[in-house]
Amino acid sequence: MSNEDIAIVGIGMHEFGRHPGVSGMDQGVIAVRRALADAGVEWKDMQFAFGGSQAAGAADTMVSKLGLTGLQFINVMNGCATGGSALFSAYNSIKSGMFDLGIAIGFDKHERGAFRIDTKKHGLADWYGASGLALTTQFFGMKINRYMHEHGISDSTLAKVGVKAFKNGSMNPMAWRRRPLSEEEITQSAMLSYPLTQYMFCSPGEGGVALILAKASDAHKYTDTPVFLNAAVVRSRRFGSFEVMAPHLALEHGVGPTVDASKAAFEMAGIGPDDVDLAQLQDTETGAEIMHMAENGFCKDGEQEEMIALGETEIGGRFPVNTDGGCLANGEPVGASGLRQVYENVLQLRGDAGPRQVPGDPKVAYTHVYGAPGISGVNILSR
Amino acid sequence: MSERVPVEAGVFTWPADEPRLLGSRCTNCDNHMFPVQDTCPRCSGGETETVELGRTGTLWTWTVQGYPPKSPPYAGDADPKTFEPYGVGYVELPGQVKVESRLTVNNPDELEIGMELELVLVPLYTNDDGAEVVTFAFAPTAKAASL
């Protein structure tokens, strides 16, 4: 793996959760200021920015608060892969040799409850929403139901993923939900979309994250603990995959965008799944984490049942997953969610994750996001 | 009986005693789609024809919508006091496509992957003119219901 390319030299985050009276944009601004402080640089040093939110406004307007420096600022809006797309763009802006130092920003602020879907924005007709089919939660219920049928995953395993998430979240001061929950509490909460209960789902929320990137050869100017970005990949769906908000599916079955993004990222980084020490995987609900373990190449379909029973995905286990509590404990401010995963991996690789630090001096960490209308983003980091 | 109207024209045959969903078939690669669309995501072809899809199939996967959807876009009863959970699934229509649909059954104990289903129309809401607006759903076939 080459460390001669791109480094993350500064990270900043605004607490995830609910923040009445603080706009999503302002949470992004606070995240930027914290990232600048972390790298020991100023806003005027930023040569470019890529930023986005789904529901909290155009990112480039934040220059009126951060400083009118004339930088190249490009808005990114790519659903759940907004953060991943901003990071991909920042990565390539430096990789191309055009810039030396810049920033990727994601923030959001959603109304309470499940996402309200504007069917037209998804290229769908009004009858789809009117008939009660435009709910992302239904997709997750149907995907894991089929997966459990095919691969023998139990209801208890669904709940155990939630127990781990809230336990990890309880050790994360930036997380939204920090109260540990028992397997029983999770199983017995309201059934939202069979077989998934209320506490098996994450909620739309609020928060902001900013990451400062630099040429790797410059990294030590800014930090003693640079973390290198070895792969940044975004992929859309191919024919035959099973995706959210799909009025029809093909009879023939193909792999989803996560499988494609994962393969491409491993190829780009020149490593394989066995080289990864920890991962943040999209856990919109607990079943998603289980399925994404296999789709990203970390196990075979069905092996999750035993891995989770043995505690292998716990902090301290063989392969820790969602060490910061994931979407389940942090909520999902869409624009910020993918960058939150990278933020956590930088902390882990720096050895700065406090009580939730993965032991054994981890060297390689992996992030994965998935969202509508069938898009995945993967990043591989190392130090 | 009050007048019945479809949730939207062009989604299923109307009026019809035995309704069928309207889909598209790619004239180049035979890929089937639902609802009607004029290009093919499989071969990128630009010619499709509208077809009536099969009215019976098997349940490929399912869930139950357990909480009232946000309204809009949902047009049915979203009042938490009176909301009735409804089934949702993908129904595999042999030789054609899997379609996403409401199911008339909402009890998990009565839903099983592989069960046989047929297309029906179900009431969704009453519009301002007093007409009953209907959408499509899949129901267990007589054979499946007797099992």
Q: Where are the beta strands (DSSP E) in chain A?
A: 6-17, 48-52, 72-75, 101-109, 191-193, 196-197, 206-215, 227-236, 248-249, 278-281, 364-371, 375-382
Write down the ipTM of this complex: 0.95
Q: What pLDDT score was predicted for residue B143?
A: 62
Q: What pLDDT score was predicted for residue B145?
A: 56
A127 touches chain B (CB under 8 A): yes
Cα dihedral sign for A137, A141, A144, A146?
negative
Flag if B8 and A127 touch (Cβ within 8 Å).
yes
A112 touches chain B (CB under 8 A): no
Q: Where are the domains of chain B?
A: 55-145
3-state secondary structure A61-105: HHHHHHCCCCCEEEECCECECHHHHHHHHHHHHHHCCCCCEEEEE
Position B146 pLDDT exceeds 60: no
Give CA–CA dist A189/A196, Å, rounded.
Answer: 9
CA–CA min distance A331, chain B (Å): 19
Residue B108 with chain A: CB contacts under 8 Å? 194-195
Residue B73 with chain A: CB contacts under 8 Å? 116-119, 126, 128-130, 134
Q: A180 vs A169, A176, A297, CA distance in Å?
A: 8, 12, 29
Give CA–CA dist A197/A201, Å, rounded.
Answer: 7
Q: What pLDDT score was predicted for residue A1?
A: 45
Of B32, B34, B124, the CB nearest to A247: B34
CA–CA min distance B1, chain A (Å): 22
Cα dihedral sign for A123, A126, A129, A132?
negative
- Mean pLDDT on B19-48: 97
Domains of chain A, each with CATH number or no CATH: 6-113+201-382 (3.40.47.10)
Residue A138 with chain B: CB contacts under 8 Å? 63, 65, 88
- DSSP characters over B110-135: G--TT-EEEEEEEEEEE-TTSPEEEE
For helices A155-169 and A286-295, the axis angle rounded to 10 degrees is: 100
Give CA–CA dist A94/A371, Å, rounded.
Answer: 27
Please count the other Cβ atoms lying within 10 Å of the Cβ belonging to residue A354.
Answer: 10
Q: What pLDDT score was predicted for residue A240?
A: 94
Give CA–CA dist A75/A84, Å, rounded.
Answer: 13
A203 touches chain B (CB under 8 A): no
Of B106, B108, B104, the C-alpha closest to B142 is B104
Give CA–CA dist A348/A323, Å, rounded.
Answer: 9
Residue B15, preceding peptide bond in cis (omega within 30° of 0): yes
Q: Which tokens is A346 given?
A: 């930088």
Mean pLDDT score of chain B, rounded to an integer? 94
Flag if A117 and B113 touch (Cβ within 8 Å).
no
Flag if A191 and B64 touch (Cβ within 8 Å).
yes
Q: What pLDDT score was predicted for residue A341?
A: 98
Q: Do B32 and B96 touch, CB atoms closer than 8 A?
A: yes
- Scanning A40-99 for CB atoms below 8 A from B yields none
- Scanning A135-164 for CB atoms below 8 A from B yields 135, 138, 141-143, 145-146, 149
Flag if B74 and A138 touch (Cβ within 8 Å).
no
A3 or B99: which carries more pLDDT confidence?
B99
Q: Do A131 and B73 touch, CB atoms closer than 8 A?
A: no
Within A152-237, where are the H helices?
Answer: 155-169, 183-187
Would you write out chain A's pLDDT as a tens digit for each of its 383 residues? Answer: 444 589 999 999 999 999 999 999 999 999 999 999 999 999 999 999 999 999 999 999 999 999 999 999 999 998 888 999 999 999 999 999 999 999 999 999 998 877 777 888 778 899 999 999 999 999 999 999 999 999 999 999 999 999 999 999 999 999 999 999 999 999 999 999 999 999 999 999 999 999 999 999 999 999 999 999 999 999 999 999 998 899 999 999 999 999 999 999 999 999 999 999 999 999 999 999 999 999 999 999 999 999 999 999 999 999 999 999 999 999 999 999 999 999 999 999 999 999 999 999 999 999 999 988 889 999 999 99
